[in-house]
């Protein structure tokens, strides 16, 4: 059975962040399943709406203000279907405090529309140590926004089960599900491309540990502690720093740890196919997170999807699904020695490494992939 979808998002390609890329992937997957998909999005000034494959993209005239709301409501009523908001509070306009938009969206259910929301992030963190910090006013407003949205929609989805603790009243909903954020890296690469990257990074017979991400300050701090600890255990290791931000991280590493930096290769931003080849060339992926791995970390999903054994941090935000599935090897967040030991153990045991890679890929397909998300969404729309 085909469905009609209206996806609302604060950003969309070109020139967008992770939520926009996710929305584009979701729209394409729903269309490929035979559904009719409309995307209502804030686009940069030079971009226009139109047909992108089987998806119709509507450019909104403002940042989800009154003009946008009128356009969206008229379009939805012309082609009724499921209305799914891709929610990040800072993308809704009004500098992250767009309470009128939330009241409007909540009210759509009262006119009979099937409204749903996907929480990528619930709200800005509150700084308890400094109650009068300027950002705390925004944190309070965004909590009200989340409450209004949860109260007024038919179904709530979340990018990590951890958000259940942060969303007021959500546990009273019978329809509350986690939709992990899948990898945006292809699940394929030619053997020749993999071999070429392997040769570039150090060659066959040399252990290759990789990290994929953007090298933000928090993750970079974890890596700067882990990599020297791993090199101390394995003098022959090579390191692949994959993704935008890698070259700057490598330059910083040269300052404090030149002996580690000389073993590392930083790729910078790669096209999707080249990224997949680089990830697949690695023996093990190192994915530390100071607050722990969660199902919203697309960087860890790239290794799992491509069948590479992965070591990740367990921390305050880590959900039970990771221990239940055994999809990754764990080390406590902030414990560089334990993380290096876990990676070293995998590098020294080919059968354990292969089994972890196999299990990670299988669990990704079953629980974390876009196909899994589409099955949940289309199943719910049919019920």
pLDDT digits (tens, 9 = 90+) for 288-328: 999 999 999 999 999 999 999 999 999 999 999 999 999 99
Question: What is the C-alpha to C-alpha distance for residues 170 and 144, in angstroms, rounded to an integer?
Answer: 13
pLDDT at 342 over 80: yes
- Identify the band that residue 126 occupies on the pLDDT scale cut at 50, 70 and 90: low
Between 1 and 215, whose confidence is greater? Answer: 215
Tell me, what's the pLDDT at 256? Answer: 94
- Identify the band that residue 88 occupies on the pLDDT scale cut at 50, 70 and 90: very high
Overall average pLDDT of the 103-109 stretch: 93
Closest CA to 86 of 60, 118, 114, 109: 118
pLDDT at 122 over 90: no
Q: Is the pTM of this model over 0.85?
A: yes
Reported as half-sphere exposure (CB side, CA atoms, 13 A), residue 104 has a value of: 17
C-alpha distance across the termini of the chain, in Å: 11
Tell me, what's the pLDDT at 341? Answer: 98
Closest CA to 96 of 125, 128, 130: 125
Tell me, what's the pLDDT at 220? Answer: 97
Overall average pLDDT of the 63-92 stretch: 93
| Full set of structural domains in the chain with CATH | 4-179 (3.40.50.2000), 191-368 (3.40.50.2000)
- Identify the band that residue 128 occupies on the pLDDT scale cut at 50, 70 and 90: low
Strand arrangement, sheet containing 238-242 = 264-268, 238-242, 208-212, 284-287, 309-314, 329-332
Tell me, what's the pLDDT at 244? Answer: 93
Tracing tokens 């740890």 back to the chain, one arrives at 257
SS3 (DSSP) at 176: strand
Contact 188, 194 (CB under 8 A): no
pLDDT at 172 over 60: no
pLDDT digits (tens, 9 = 90+) for 227-251: 999 999 999 999 999 999 999 999 9
pLDDT at 171 over 70: no
What is the bridge-based pairing of β-strands 50-52 and 55-59? antiparallel
Tell me, what's the pLDDT at 96? Answer: 86
pLDDT at 130 over 90: no
Contact 243, 212 (CB under 8 A): yes
Tell me, what's the pLDDT at 271? Answer: 94
Tell me, what's the pLDDT at 382? Answer: 62
- Identify the band that residue 14 occupies on the pLDDT scale cut at 50, 70 and 90: confident
Q: Which two tokens stand for residue 141?
A: 């407003």
- Ramachandran angles phi, psi of 227, nearest 5°: -60, -45
pLDDT at 355 over 60: yes
pLDDT at 61 over 80: yes
pLDDT at 46 over 60: no
Tell me, what's the pLDDT at 279? Answer: 98
Between 144 and 5, whose confidence is greater? Answer: 5
Tell me, what's the pLDDT at 50? Answer: 76
CB burial string 276-311: b at 16+ within 10 A, e below: bbbbbbbbbbbbbbeebbbbbbbbbbbbbbbbbbbb
Tell me, what's the pLDDT at 138? Answer: 84
Question: What is the C-alpha to C-alpha distance for residues 304 and 321, in angstroms, rounded to an integer?
Answer: 14
* Average pLDDT for the chain: 91
């Amino acid at each position: 059975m085909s469905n009609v979808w209206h996806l609302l998002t604060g950003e969309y390609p070109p020139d967008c962040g992770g939520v926009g890329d996710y929305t584009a992937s979701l729209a394409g997957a729903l269309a490929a399943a035979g559904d009719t998909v409309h995307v209502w999005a804030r686009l940069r000034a030079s971009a226009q709406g139109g047909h992108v494959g089987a998806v119709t993209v509507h450019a909104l005239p403002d940042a989800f203000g009154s003009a946008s709301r009128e356009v969206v409501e008229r379009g939805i009523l012309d082609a009724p279907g499921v209305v799914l908001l891709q929610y990040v509070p800072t993308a809704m306009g009004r500098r992250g405090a767009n309470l009128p938009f939330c009241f409007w969206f909540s009210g759509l259910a009262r006119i009979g529309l099937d409204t749903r929301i996907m929480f990528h992030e619930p709200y800005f963190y509150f700084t308890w140590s400094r109650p009068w910090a300027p950002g705390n006013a925004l944190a309070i407003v965004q909590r009200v926004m989340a409450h209004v949205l949860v109260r007024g929609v038919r179904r709530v989805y979340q990018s990590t089960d951890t958000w259940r603790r942060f969303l007021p009243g959500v546990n009273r909903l019978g329809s509350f599900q986690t939709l992990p954020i899948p990898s945006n890296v292809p699940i394929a690469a030619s053997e020749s491309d993999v071999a070429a990257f392997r040769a570039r990074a150090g060659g066959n017979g040399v252990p290759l540990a990789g990290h994929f991400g953007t090298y933000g300050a928090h993750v970079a701090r974890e890596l700067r502690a882990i990599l020297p600890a791993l090199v101390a255990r394995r003098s022959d290791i090579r390191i692949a720093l994959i993704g935008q931000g890698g070259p700057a991280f490598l330059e910083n590493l040269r300052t404090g740890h030149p002996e580690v930096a000389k073993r590392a290769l930083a790729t910078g931003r790669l096209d999707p196919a080249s990224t997949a080849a680089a990830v697949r060339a690695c023996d093990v992926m190192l994915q530390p997170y100071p607050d722990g791995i969660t199902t919203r970390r697309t960087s860890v999903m790239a290794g799992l999807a491509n069948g590479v054994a992965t070591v990740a941090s367990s921390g305050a935000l880590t959900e039970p699904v990771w221990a239940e599935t055994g999809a990754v090897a764990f080390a406590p967040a902030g414990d560089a020695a334990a993380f290096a030991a876990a990676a070293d153990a995998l590098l020294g045991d080919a059968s354990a490494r292969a089994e972890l890679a196999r299990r990670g890929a299988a669990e990704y397909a079953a629980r974390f992939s876009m196909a899994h998300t589409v099955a949940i969404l289309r199943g719910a729309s049919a019920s």
